[in-house]
Amino acid sequence: MAHLPAHVGFNFTKTLHHDINASTDPTKRDLSQPSKVVLITGAGRGIGRSIALRYADCGVACIIICARTSSQLDEVEEAIKSINANVNVRKLALDVTDEKQVKLAIDKVKEEGRLDVLVNNAGVSAPWIPLVDSKVDEYWKTWEVHLKGTYLMLRAFTPLLIDTAKNEKTQANIVNLTSIGAHLTAFGASAYQTSKFALLRLTEFVCTEYENEGVNCVAIHPGGVLTEMSKNNKAIQAMLVDTPDLCGGFIVWYTKSQRSWLNGRYLSANWDVDELEARKDEIVNEGKLKMRMIV
């Protein structure tokens, strides 16, 4: 990754990770988060599945796993139970771009009595081809999943997060999965990279409007992970060297403590969390890790 331009922030910490590590592994460090209810979209496989399993390691009260394919959720439930049989698992067949389905999901989530963490992980990518050659439906589907889907989930579930923060006298967390590609322009990737860039600004808006009500929101690059979505993209194959657990561990570390100082910011799961903590004052005082035009 040494060839990447400095502005993408890949080397923001000196130490970089490609897998879960001692500081982010719930089986090696106290990242326990009892009583919490966690909702994860795109949880049927890959990165979303790993996030769910790492929260099982943390001993949360309930993990709500959402995906369009119910059979995938059955397997994830079994994997969660094999880690921690005491974790309640709720499965929701959910297309995040379908407003009716999202509305129906609200009542089911309310049955848990609280919502502490929302992870907007659902993602898709149109083929990486030039604009003129693209198919409108495929191109716009990428935007719908990343923007409309995230918007609908935020609109539906932020009130539950606010209630939890108020009732439990704590802070609730939203994680939007973005990409290091948001900082780049790769040939043919305009649907994916521009929609992921837009997520960075949407993340800031959540903080602008709800941070005073106890809601934290960050955008996280999960690393370069070989998934069903990315495996056919030859242009980025050489960069897909990270494990799904890299992101799972990073997210459970983030939500373990009240890290409002990271609000509205872009983070990378590749970064070393201890070095990141050590740079807290610099990040806050200099307004780092937010997207700004230099003039």
Q: Is 210 a catalytic residue?
A: no
pLDDT at 234: 64
Taking alpha carbons only, the member of 45, 99, 42, 102 closest to residue 67 is 42
Q: Is 196 a catalytic residue?
A: yes
Average the pLDDT over 2-17 and give the result.
90
At 92, is the pLDDT very low, low, confident or very high (cuts 50, 70, 90)? very high
Q: Which domains does the chain have, with CATH numbers?
A: 31-285 (3.40.50.720)
* pLDDT at position 32 over 60: yes
Contacts of 192 (CB under 8 A, 6+ apart): 125, 126, 128, 142, 179, 181
Average pLDDT, the chain: 94
pLDDT at 194: 97
pLDDT at 227: 65
pLDDT at 278: 98
Sign of CA dihedral 275, 252, 211, 143: positive
Average the pLDDT over 43-65 and give the result.
97
Distance (Å, whole) CA 126 – CA 274:
36
What's the CA angle centered on 155, arms 189 and 24, to 5 degrees? 65
Lowest-pLDDT range, 26-30, 102-106, 241-245, 248-252? Answer: 241-245
At 226, is the pLDDT very low, low, confident or very high (cuts 50, 70, 90)? confident
Q: Which residues pair with 225 in a beta bridge?
A: 242
Sign of CA dihedral 188, 192, 197, 198: positive
Residue with the bigger pLDDT between 57 and 231: it is 57
pLDDT digits (tens, 9 = 90+) for 156-181: 999 999 999 999 999 999 999 999 99
Strand 117-120, strand 266-268: pairing: unpaired
pLDDT at 294: 86
Contacts of 106 (CB under 8 A, 6+ apart): 156, 157, 160
* pLDDT at position 3 over 80: no
pLDDT at 251: 98
For residue 23, the Cα-to-chain-centroid distance in whole angstroms is 19
Catalytic residue chosen out of the listed positions 36, 91, 196, 256 = 196
Distance (Å, whole) CA 52 – CA 48:
6
Task: Report yes or no: 272 and 15 within 8 Å, Cβ to Cβ.
Answer: yes
- The string of DSSP letters for 221-248 reads E--SB--TTTTT-GGGGGG--B-HHHHH
Catalytic residue chosen out of the listed positions 55, 139, 192, 266 = 192
